[in-house]
Amino acid sequence: MSVSEQVDALQAKVADLKSSLDASRHETNEQIKARVADAKAKADAAKETVHGKADQAADHAHTQWQSLKASNSAKMQELQERAARKRDERDVKAAERDAEQAEDDAADALDYAAWAIDQAEVAVLDAADARAWADARAAASPPS
């Protein structure tokens, strides 16, 4: 899958997340719970496709995200500096290897972002479920 295709897929996931949130506002608690279960199942299945990094990311999502951003920033800076210094000196094969490495880095970051969106969908639906439950409890409680 090319980087462009991965960006398109990521954009579609974000649109699905927005639709899911909008739909949850008009659903019953049971419907939301079913969507949470479905989202969790989807997230668990997607975790296996993130080049083996999703298992670690599930345990350390926040710290790994920070590390990934810093690492990608450093790699991008290094790549830009290297390209600026040696653009005219590099032969076609070296330039191709550099491009493939940069594309691999981008693909890894996009895979992680897709996994993070799956996790965000679970969190958003869990929040919607908690709000629906709290609202139902508040409506059922006698006034103080």
**Of residues 127, 138, 135, the one with CA closest to residue 35:** 127
The CA angle 55-33-31, to the nearest 5 degrees, is 135
In terms of residues, how long is the chain?
Answer: 144
Average pLDDT value for residue range 12-34: 87
Residue 79: C-alpha distances to residues 21, 33, 104, 109 (Å) = 39, 46, 13, 16
Which are the contacts of 68, defined by CB distance < 8 A and separation ≥ 6?
A: 109, 112
Q: What is the pLDDT of residue 92?
A: 73
Name the pLDDT band for 41 (thresholds 50, 70, 90).
Answer: confident
Which pLDDT does position 68 carry in this prediction? 67
